Amino acid sequence: MEQVSTVLVVAFFIIWFLLSIIFQFNSPAKGILAKFDYLGLLPSWSFFAPIPGTSDYRLVFRDKKNNHNWSEWNEVSFYSEFSFIRTIWNPKKVELKALSDIIQILLKELNNNLYKKNPRLIMLTTPYMALLTKVNNEPCPDDSIERQFAVLSSSGFGQDRKVVPLFVSSSHLINEYAK
């Protein structure tokens, strides 16, 4: 019995390792494996490659007032100043990574033919809803009636900073309960 369990466990490790190797390369096999990898056991090890992440995603929003003028764009705060404390303690990185992951999924969805033909359908996707929920949780002045969000990409610091708009949402009525 012990011999059988030993063989099964060793075989499991070998198969897991071989599948991990296959998973590193973009191929139809990777897509199939990803579909069944419910537990996230297959790692993806291509850090900052092939295209290094050189910019940040920024989530901004603005409100339409009851006089039908738009407010300035406000940013949802995710980032903080550089600090050496990040070496030991960096709680902000989880939400930052989540923002990056969700926006990447949204941008990928935008390339889907379905949403190219029917752009408004993007509003029904999970990443869009997640970002809309996030901006709706930001403080809301009494005279705001609609809210619109946008996703930007920024790189560099100070005067070197470059900002590129990536996506602008539709405007959405603000729920009375949000005020």
Partner 1 sequence: MQSSSEAMSVCLLIASVGLCISSLELLFSSALSSNKLTTTIFHKNIIYRTVSILMIIGNNSLVLRVVVILRLLSCLLLAGSLLLNWNLSGLFVVLIVTSNVVISTYKQVGNDGADQMNNIIFISAVFFFLFPSQAVKISAILFIAGQSLLSYFTAGLAKLLSPIWLKTNAVGSILGSLSYGQPFLYRTLQKWQWLGRLLSIFIVAFEVLLPFCILLPTNYCIAALILAAFFHINCGIVMGLNDFIWAFVATYPTILWTNKYLYTHVF
**Binding map of partner 1 across residues 26-65, x = CB under 8 A, - = no contact:** ------------xxxx-xxxxxxxxxxxxxx---------
Among 28, 31, 67, 89, binds partner 1 (CB under 8 A): 89
User: Is the CB of residue 32 less than 8 Å from the CB of residue 38?
Assistant: no
Q: Which is nearer to partner 1, 137 or 170 (CB)?
A: 137
Cα–Cα dist 102/171, whole Å: 20
Measured at the CA of 150, the angle between CA 68 and CA 126, to 5 degrees, comes to: 115
To the nearest 10 degrees (0 to 180), the angle between helices 2-23 and 28-36 is 130
Which helix (H) or strand (E) segment is 63 a member of? Answer: strand 56-65
Shortest distance (Å) from residue 172 CB to partner 1: 17
Shortest distance (Å) from residue 26 CB to partner 1: 10
Which helix (H) or strand (E) segment is 128 a member of? Answer: helix 126-136
Residue 149's SS3 state is strand
Binding of partner 1 by 137 (CB under 8 A): yes
> In the 8-state DSSP scheme, what is residue 173?
E
Binding of partner 1 by 75 (CB under 8 A): no
Query: Could you tell me which stretch among 62-70, 86-94, 111-119, 144-152 binds partner 1 (CB under 8 A)?
Result: 86-94
Residue numbers at the binding site for partner 1 (CB under 8 A): 2, 5-6, 9-10, 12-14, 16-17, 20-21, 24, 38-41, 43-56, 79, 82, 84, 86-102, 105, 126-127, 130-131, 133-134, 137, 154-158, 160
